[in-house]
Structure 1
Amino acid sequence: MLNSIAETLHTQQGAIIKATEQHISISLLALLIAIVIAIPLAILLKDHRRIAEACLQVAGIVQTIPSLAILGLLIPLVGIGTVPAVIALVLYAIMPIFQNTYAGLTQIAPNLEEAATAFGLTKWKKLQRLELPLAMPMILSGIRISLVMIIGTATLAALIGGGGLGTFILTGIQSNNNTYVIIGAVLSAILAFFFSWLLKFVGSNTKRLRVGMLAIVILLVGFSGYQGYQALRPAPTEIVIAGKMGSEPDILIHMYKDLIQQEDPRAEVTLKPNFGGTTFLFKALQSNQIDVYPEFTGTVNQQIIKSKQKTGTNPQKTYQLAKRELARRYQMRYLKPMQYQNGYALVASPQFAQTHQLTKMSQLANYNNEITAGFDPDFYQLHDGYQGLKQPYGYHFKNVKTMEPAIRYQAIANGRVNVVDGYTTDPQIPQYHLKMLRDDRHFFPPYQGAPLMKESFAKRNPRVVTALNKLAGKITTKEMQQMNYEVTVKKKSAATVARQYLIKNHLLDH
C-alpha cells in the first residue's frame, strides 16, 4: 500500500497539487464570506436577544439539512461548479462563528460595561476597546470550528464539479482504488489540522492577532480585486471540455484536447476532469459552463431524453434516436460515436471459464447449479439486468450475492464468486485475467460514446467538430479496456495514455 501511495503521489503530482489548491481556495473563500456575514450580524444583534435567538434557530436548522440536499436545491438556482459548493459551505459555517461571537459579546461582566460607560466611551469605542478584545478568544474558537467543518465538507464539491480533494476520494470509491481514497482523505485531514493550528497560533497573543487580522483584510481586498479584474477584462476564447468520474472519461477528454489543438493550434482548451455525473454535466452544457463532454448513446436515451421508444440492440438506431431527440429538444449536436461500447457485461473467473470453455453468455445456463454470482444491487433488481436475463438466457443461478460495485471484482479475484456483472471496458478484467462473455443474444442495449455539444457552439467552431470526428468509429473495446488498465492499475497519467493511442493510430502528429 505504501508503495502504491508513493507511486501515485509521484505520477499524479500535478493533479494532487491542483486539487489541493482548489480545496484550499474553496474552503478559505467560504470561511471569509461566513466571517464577513456572521461577525457583523452578531455585533448588530448583541443588544437584541430575541432576534439573535431567532437567527441562531434558523442557523441551527440549516445545519441539520444534509449537505447533498442543499447542493441539490442550489443547482437549479446557481448551476453547478464552485458557486453552489461555496454557498453550501457558507451556510454551514455561519452558525459556529455567529454563536461564539454573540456569546462572547453578551457574556462580558456587567461591571466592565458600566466602567466603560462611566469613562465616557462611545458605543463604538466600547466595542473596539473592550468587547471585541474580550470576546476574541471565543470568536476565534468559532472560526476554527467552522474552518475544520468546511474543509471536511468541501470534499462534496467534487460531486457537482467544484473540484478539490473530493475528486480523489470519489474516483477511488468508484474504481475501488484505496490509494486515491487515502490520499484524498489524509490530505483533507492535514489541511484541517494545519489551518486549525495556524488560527490557534495567530490568536495566541495580541501582536500575532493584529498581523493575522491585517492579513485577512489584505486577502479579502486582493481576492475581491482579482475577481473584479477577471470580470471586467476581455475574456479569452476558451473551449471547456469536461468529463465524468473515472479514468475513461479522463482519457477521452485528453484525446479531445490533443485533437482540437492539432486542428487549431491557437485554441485554448481547458479540461475539467471528474466533473460529476450525467445530470450535472448536461446542466453545465445547457448553461454554457462547459462546451463539450463525452456521453454514451444508451445514457442519452435512458437518462436525458428518457425515451419510451424501443431501440433494440442496433447501435446505429440507438445513436440516431439520441442524435435526433437531442437536436429537437435541446438544440444540441451529437457527433459520430466511437466503435467501442461501455455497456453491461457478465464476467467469469479464469478458472471457471477455462473449466467449462466459456466464451458467450448463453453457455452459463448449462451450469446454473454451479454458479455463485456477485451482482451490483441495481443490476440484480432491474429488468435490464439479471431479472431481464432470466428469460432469454434461461438463468437460474444457484446463489446470487448482491454487493457494492467497488468490491465485486475483489470477490471474484478471491474466489468468493465465479461470475460478476461489470462494464465492458473495466480495467479489472485484464487486471485479474477475467473472461468477459459475449452477449450472443444481444440483450444489453448499445452504449457508444460520442462528443456532445450545443448546436450554436458547433456552428461557431467547425474546426472542433472536424477534429473530434476523427475519433468516429475508432477505439475498440479491448483498446479502451487496456487504456483504462494503464491509468487505473499501472498509474500512468490519462494525458500520456491518450496521446500514445492517438500517435499509434496516426490520429496525432508526434
Structure 2
Amino acid sequence: MTERLARAHTAVASRFLNGSLICLLLFCMACAPPRSSRVTIGAKNFTEQVVLGELLAQEIEAVTGKGVERRFYLAGSYICQQALVSGRIDGYVEYTGTALTAILKQPLPPVGQRDEARVFETVRRLYAQRYHVRVEPGLGFENTFAMVVRGDEAQRFGLKTISDAVPHANTMRLGVGYEFEERPDGLRGLEAAYGLKFGDEPRTMDLGLLYRALSSAQVDMVAGNSTDGPIRALRLVALEDDKHYFPPYEAVPLIREDSLQRHPGIQTAMDRLAGKLTENEVRGMNDAVDGQHRDVADVVREFRRSKGL
C-alpha cells in the first residue's frame, strides 16, 4: 500500500511539474518582444558606425516613406552580431576583415591572398550559409586598422611605416581598444608579424578615448582606424602597414534575409548607397561630428543631398 501511494504521489508531482513547465514556457513566449513592424538599424559604439547607421536609416526612410528605429552605440562587433542573429536589429554596417576573423572565426589568409574580392566572397558565402544574412555590396571605402602616432614624434624619429617604429617600440606606450587586444587580426598577430616589442603592456580603453590619450602624451601610439577624423584634425600620422598584415576592411551592410522579404525597400536603399562613399568623405563626416560637434543626422543629410539622394 505504501509503495502504491508513493508511486501515485510521484505521478501527480510529475504531472504538476510538467504542467508548470509548459505554463512557464507559454508565459515566456507571451512576454517575448515581438519583431517590430519597423525596420531597425544598429551601429557599434564609435562615431563612424553611428554615421553609417544613420546613413542606412535615412536612405531606407527616403525609399520606404516609413520611420526607421535606431539602435546605435551597441558595444561592439560581437553585440551587433548577436542583435542581428536574434532579430533585435535588421541590419548594420560591418567591415569584411572584422567579419572574417572576429565573427566567422576564419584564419587570416596568407599575405598574398588578402585581396578585397577574395575576402568579400568568403564573408558573403559564410553569412548566407550560417546566419541567412545578406552581405550587400560595399559602400565604397575601406576602414583598416591604423597604427597612429603624434606628428611631432613621426617627424622626430622619421616614422612613416610600422617597420620604422620597431626600433623605438620598447620605449613607446601603446593604447588600444578592448577588441583589438583580443582579436586574431589584432595586437598579438601584429607584434609577431613585425617583431614589435613594447616596453609595457598596452593600455586598453574605450575607442573614443584613444586620440585624447595620444594627443595628451599619455600614450605614444594607438591602434585606431584609417578614417578616424582626429587623424587629420590633430595632425597625427597613420603609419603605413608596409608588411600588409591587416586584411581588407571593406565597409558592407549586413541585412537579414527575412527582413529583405518583409521590407523590400531595404534592398532598393542598399543599391542606391553601393559605392557612394570615399574614404575622404567618411573621414570628413567623422570629423564634422567629432571635431566640429555637429549633429550626426544633419551631417548625413547634407552628404546625401550632395550625392543627389
TM-score (norm 2): 0.75
Kindly report which structure 2 residues correspond to 1:312-461, keeping only aligned pairs within 5 A, or say none.
312-365=113-166, 367-368=167-168, 371-376=171-176, 379=180, 384-396=185-197, 399-400=199-200, 402-406=202-206, 407-461=209-263
Q: Which AA in structure 2 matches 1:320? A: E
Say if 2:18 is the partner of 1:239. Answer: no
Q: Is the 8 A contact 1:377 1:402 kept in 2?
A: no
Could you tell me which residue of structure 1 aligns to residue 291 of structure 2?
A: 489
Cα 1:429–1:239, aligned 2, differ >3 Å: closer, same or farther?
Answer: same
Cα 1:432–1:310, aligned 2, differ >3 Å: closer, same or farther?
Answer: same
Q: Is the 8 A contact 1:372 1:401 kept in 2?
A: no
Cα 1:237–1:443, aligned 2, differ >3 Å: closer, same or farther?
Answer: same
Kindly report which structure 2 residues correspond to 1:131-280, keeping only aligned pairs within 5 A, or say none.
237-264=37-64, 266-280=65-79
**Could you tell me how far apart the structure 1 residues matched to 2:66 and 2:212 are?**
43
Structure 2 gaps, min length 5: 1-27
Say if 2:100 is the partner of 1:301. Answer: yes
**Could you tell me how far apart the structure 2 residues matched to 1:293 and 1:268 are?**
16
**SS of 1:447's equivalent?**
coil
Could you tell me which residue of structure 2 aligns to residue 38 of structure 1?
A: none
Q: Which AA in structure 1 matches 2:165? A: L
Cα 1:288–1:427, aligned 2, differ >3 Å: closer, same or farther?
Answer: same
Cα 1:330–1:460, aligned 2, differ >3 Å: closer, same or farther?
Answer: same
Q: Is the 8 A contact 2:175 2:219 kept in 1?
A: no
**Could you tell me how far apart the structure 2 residues matched to 1:246 and 1:408 are?**
11
Could you tell me which residue of structure 1 aligns to residue 271 of structure 2?
A: 469
Q: Once superposed, what is the RMSD of the aligned Cα atoms?
A: 3.2
**SS of 1:435's equivalent?**
strand
**Could you tell me how far apart the structure 2 residues matched to 1:432 and 1:251 are?**
20
**SS of 1:347's equivalent?**
strand
Q: Structure 1 residue 321: deviation in Å?
A: 0.9
Kindly report which structure 2 residues correspond to 1:277-296, keeping only aligned pairs within 5 A, or say none.
277-296=76-95
Residues 3-58 of structure 1: CA deviation (Å, up to 9, x unaligned): xxxxxxxxxxxxxxxxxxxxxxxxxxxxxxxxxxxxxxxxxxxxxxxxxxxxxxxx
Kindly report which structure 2 residues correspond to 1:19-98, keeping only aligned pairs within 5 A, or say none.
none
Q: Structure 1 residue 368: deviation in Å?
A: 2.6
**SS of 1:346's equivalent?**
strand
Cα 1:408–1:326, aligned 2, differ >3 Å: closer, same or farther?
Answer: closer
Q: Structure 1 residue 349: deviation in Å?
A: 0.9
**SS of 2:44's equivalent?**
coil
Cα 1:385–1:261, aligned 2, differ >3 Å: closer, same or farther?
Answer: closer
**SS of 2:73's equivalent?**
coil
Q: Which AA in structure 1 matches 2:58? A: D
Q: Larger % of strand: which?
A: 2
Q: Is the 8 A contact 2:48 2:228 kept in 1?
A: no
Q: Matched residues, percent identical?
A: 28
**Could you tell me how far apart the structure 2 residues matched to 1:403 and 1:289 are?**
33
Q: Is the 8 A contact 2:108 2:185 kept in 1?
A: no
Structure 1 gaps, min length 5: 1-76, 85-230
Give the number of the structure with larger relative contact order, counting CA–CA contacts within 8 Å between residues 6 or more apart. 2
Q: Is the 8 A contact 2:43 2:74 kept in 1?
A: yes
Could you tell me which residue of structure 1 aligns to residue 15 of structure 2?
A: none
**Could you tell me how far apart the structure 1 residues matched to 2:75 and 2:222 are?**
26
Q: Structure 1 residue 278: deviation in Å?
A: 3.1
**SS of 1:475's equivalent?**
coil
Q: Larger % of helix: which?
A: 1
Cα 1:369–1:448, aligned 2, differ >3 Å: closer, same or farther?
Answer: closer
Runs of 4+ in structure 1 over 4 Å off: 377-383
Q: Structure 1 residue 443: deviation in Å?
A: 0.4
